[in-house]
Structure 1
């Protein structure tokens, strides 16, 4: 692949491009562009911005990602999750100043883009692995509830204070029940029913656009805005003019934690859906190039009035169903947004805010992952606990605190699992030279004076203690024990701490007059043992390629015993 193709993945996608692909990309681009108009305006409300900024965020970032991204179906733009994180980050710093709020939002977009681009260039795409799926599921489910309840003020037509805590929203709404506007509720609830009904009837129908057109027409025809229905009002036309976000260091430091959270969470959401569709269409996703593409999209968007964006689940599904085959579909969708900004913004004057709230509520309802919770109940209740912890922390502590708590617990789990690897005492399967875990294969044969053990992990500082414990258990349980064979095949890497642990094991075995044999030591590990003097300390004749060979040598060197006798040593947990 040439440098140009690596820099611009779209060039590689257009190789052998034909009429069928063009037809699919045009259809998908038009569909997603139409879908983005009401959806982008709705998500801007979540971010605390005027609706027009949702269209701005759907223009330049989408076009830039289409040039640099590797996912052929991913539809980039404003999403509910990132919009909520933006509001949580910028709201406390803006102090009610609309101009400052917008400026800080654009600065945040620039910071997110620089972070993602930097991580991509540094090949740090692997960092996304530290955000486990249960953590994201718990955070997503809690955030979906917060987003949904945050739209109550638009759905009910009452003024409620902005809050990221559901109980505060409900308490404030309960105190203003008498102020609820019936016409607003009728439009909002009717729109929800219309959106759900159209989705059930035919998912390819742009339900959000139908709801917007229908309710806007009703407000205009019957003058409902004069009877208490809140409308969007004047929407500025024209393409966004380039501008420089405010770059004060005080604001940069204040927004840095939020930029980290948005950058990683946005990338996680994007890469998760991108991998799904890459698998369906049998092509590869480059995680580092995805970071670069998303980073450039946010950097460019920051100079054209776009708040942070990423790939969206629902839009990507629509993009795929409508026939997208390359990221050219994204350029077509961006063109639709550009034409809307140039020609169609006056049509949104009578658009009721209740309908945008309905669009948001229906969209985020699918983010509440109750099915995942049921699945984890059956499969892994530890992961269910991790999901529940993140869910509760997000609701109780706040958006950023919730995701931070989930990440910290994930890292603790990683450290715990790394330091407590699976270990096994092994026996020979009857009639074979194969050795397996006695816990799972009780029919396996053992020798009372030769024990075979295995640790399923690399031997390094985190597992050194577990390795010593395994061998220490072996050589102190039975006075008749004469030899121990350690299957080293699972060990792909060993560090200085691991070398030290192995030397202590050799010394311990010598004190108990137990001969130690190592089987399956791989080349790089053997090189390390040679350089560290372990091979000389143990003896070259104690290394074998196979466990069976090591056991045969051990049996030849020790006093004979009857085969098939169950080992008196306790098994380690399976």
Structure 2
């Protein structure tokens, strides 16, 4: 590698956008500009709605939307990913900070900035130290259960705005639903009518033409209704005056005791939000053929949150809906997100007076319509049918998220997933292998209920052999040997899926070797991978094994082992003719 190439690689590591800006053309800009403006039309109302969901004044959603899409696009790895406020992240901000401060208060707002700062630092640390593999610990089943529950919780938080009810805040969803039900006799008809108008327009426009900005059309219509009929004077809540201008740079308040209390929730929020970002990225990359660089994406999302926190932004993430719109409208590079950010900045500078009379019921309708897509209980049932363990994880997370804090539920789901994984690795499947003469291939004898050679018992362990399962594996191998009613001469262990073995594993193989000697059964190995063979050698086990009985090919193993079995037994008592060698002694 030349010095120039190395320098370019380092430059692209710190400024990844330079790679796709090189050779940027006017025709590409046209596509990006159209996509960016289209996304901004959706982003502006969503940002205000999600800020209210997070317990913040609407303007902070706009501040987040003004800064973070630009940063996320320039420093991330996916060119069409649309970063900004999202529903689930907003919900987690609300549930995390509500016990610490009154939503909407100055203290609450400052805590939201600090939370964004902490999430950003965590993201950047994961990306810089290339720890993106941490995402492997968050199972899809846990995320699906969490997402479905989060959708219901978000809807519950928006119902008071949608119905025009005044209810006290609750940490959990069930008491909130009970209070909403009790308050239904006090339903504010005008507010409910505005909410229904907005909801009807959103679904109607989407059904009529998906390319139209249904949310914006609904908000404009609802706002016109407010102004024309003076509904704000009749009790319909509006978002009120939004300060114009750009956010003033500020440093989030740094207090050790607050940071320590927010560290746990920040980790959960970071992982949950990136799980959505990652799933969005995978969906888009499969169509654009881009490679998802998880570590670079962590850096991009980290910088978006970190820099955003200095411009009064709360935690953000990649948005599924806006990314889909960005891609569908022809975005080619991250410039589309730069255009979206600039559009929001222009709105903050010149259009905020137009937002004054937007009804909160219409914003609630926008949020509810968006998260309804997240609630898909059918996926949980499909998981249950496909894999019972995945189904248990999804249902557990779903139920716990409704009964406790959502972030706690996800952590418990991750722990249960890991427990199931450990249980499976601790109890590997031991499979009996035989040859099917009709198919002329080796098959799973247990699954197909096929006979195997009475004198050459072929067994395969379907996992690595390490300290947690070594004893179980050897005991199970001996149990399978005990099941044979015929005089077994060779135990042929198939190691084709055993990619790892530790010292405990080799010690247990010595136990097996000693037991087989007592039974006058010889041990042979098939398809031992080099790393496993190296452990055999370093542990001294290789010296105790007959290296002539370690085979690469099954046909070779059968041919050589067949020479040393009892051919008289084959001729007089064995009813099977499984190998081609059998015909030579029958």
Contact 2:430 2:477 (8 Å CA) reproduced:
no
Alignment of 1:369-518 (within 5 A): 369-430=376-437, 434-443=441-450, 446-477=452-483, 478=485, 480-518=487-525
Alignment of 1:112-127 (within 5 A): 112-127=119-134
Aligned to 2:565: 558
In the alignment, the residues of structure 2 paired with residue 35 and residue 396 of structure 1 have an alpha-carbon distance, to the nearest angstrom, of: 33
Gaps of 5+ in 1: 568-574
Alignment of 1:541-552 (within 5 A): 541-552=548-559
Contact 1:428 1:434 (8 Å CA) reproduced:
yes
Using the TM superposition, give the Cα deviation of residue 352 of structure 1 relative to its aligned residue in structure 2, in angstroms.
Answer: 0.7
In the alignment, the residues of structure 2 paired with residue 566 and residue 123 of structure 1 have an alpha-carbon distance, to the nearest angstrom, of: 56
Asked whether 1:528 is paired with 2:535, we answer: yes
- The TM-score, its normalising length taken from structure 1, stands at 0.95
Asked whether 1:79 is paired with 2:86, we answer: yes
In the alignment, the residues of structure 1 paired with residue 429 and residue 14 of structure 2 have an alpha-carbon distance, to the nearest angstrom, of: 43
Using the TM superposition, give the Cα deviation of residue 549 of structure 1 relative to its aligned residue in structure 2, in angstroms.
Answer: 2.3
In the alignment, the residues of structure 2 paired with residue 565 and residue 297 of structure 1 have an alpha-carbon distance, to the nearest angstrom, of: 71
In the alignment, the residues of structure 2 paired with residue 386 and residue 96 of structure 1 have an alpha-carbon distance, to the nearest angstrom, of: 32
Seen in structure 2, the aligned counterparts of structure 1 residues 377 and 524 have a Cα distance that, compared at 3 Å, is closer
In the alignment, the residues of structure 1 paired with residue 432 and residue 351 of structure 2 have an alpha-carbon distance, to the nearest angstrom, of: 73
Asked whether 1:328 is paired with 2:345, we answer: no
Question: For residues 200-230 of structure 1, what are the alpha-carbon distances to aligned partners after superposition, in whole Å with 9 as ceiling and x for unaligned?
Answer: 1111111111111111122122221111111
Aligned to 1:250: 257
Moved more, 55-64 or 357-366: 55-64
Alignment of 1:64-143 (within 5 A): 64-95=71-102, 98-143=105-150
In the alignment, the residues of structure 1 paired with residue 388 and residue 183 of structure 2 have an alpha-carbon distance, to the nearest angstrom, of: 41
Alignment of 1:220-231 (within 5 A): 220-231=227-238
Contact 2:380 2:391 (8 Å CA) reproduced:
yes
- The TM-score, its normalising length taken from structure 2, stands at 0.93
Moved more, 214-223 or 282-291: 214-223
Per the alignment, in what secondary structure is the counterpart of residue 58 of structure 1?
Answer: helix
Seen in structure 2, the aligned counterparts of structure 1 residues 499 and 388 have a Cα distance that, compared at 3 Å, is same
Q: Aligned-residue CA RMSD in angstroms?
A: 1.9
Contact 1:446 1:565 (8 Å CA) reproduced:
no
Question: For residues 60-109 of structure 1, what are the alpha-carbon distances to aligned partners after superposition, in whole Å with 9 as ceiling and x for unaligned?
Answer: 11111111111122110011101000011111011568111011111111
Per the alignment, in what secondary structure is the counterpart of residue 484 of structure 1?
Answer: strand
Per the alignment, in what secondary structure is the counterpart of residue 428 of structure 1?
Answer: strand
Contact 1:434 1:548 (8 Å CA) reproduced:
no
In the alignment, the residues of structure 1 paired with residue 428 and residue 300 of structure 2 have an alpha-carbon distance, to the nearest angstrom, of: 38
In the alignment, the residues of structure 1 paired with residue 549 and residue 191 of structure 2 have an alpha-carbon distance, to the nearest angstrom, of: 82
Using the TM superposition, give the Cα deviation of residue 498 of structure 1 relative to its aligned residue in structure 2, in angstroms.
Answer: 1.6
Aligned to 1:519: 526
Per the alignment, in what secondary structure is the counterpart of residue 235 of structure 1?
Answer: coil
Aligned to 1:273: 280
Contact 1:426 1:438 (8 Å CA) reproduced:
yes
Using the TM superposition, give the Cα deviation of residue 436 of structure 1 relative to its aligned residue in structure 2, in angstroms.
Answer: 2.2
Using the TM superposition, give the Cα deviation of residue 531 of structure 1 relative to its aligned residue in structure 2, in angstroms.
Answer: 1.5
Flag as ranges the 4+ runs of structure 1 deviating above 6 A. none
- Of 307, 329, 332, 2:314 maps to 307
Per the alignment, in what secondary structure is the counterpart of residue 521 of structure 1?
Answer: coil
In the alignment, the residues of structure 2 paired with residue 473 and residue 249 of structure 1 have an alpha-carbon distance, to the nearest angstrom, of: 58
Question: For residues 326-354 of structure 1, what are the alpha-carbon distances to aligned partners after superposition, in whole Å with 9 as ceiling and x for unaligned?
Answer: 11111010000110111111111111111
Question: For residues 411-448 of structure 1, what are the alpha-carbon distances to aligned partners after superposition, in whole Å with 9 as ceiling and x for unaligned?
Answer: 111111222223211112328884321124445x6321
In the alignment, the residues of structure 2 paired with residue 411 and residue 351 of structure 1 have an alpha-carbon distance, to the nearest angstrom, of: 46
Aligned to 1:285: 292
Gaps of 5+ in 2: 1-7, 578-586
Contact 2:148 2:375 (8 Å CA) reproduced:
yes
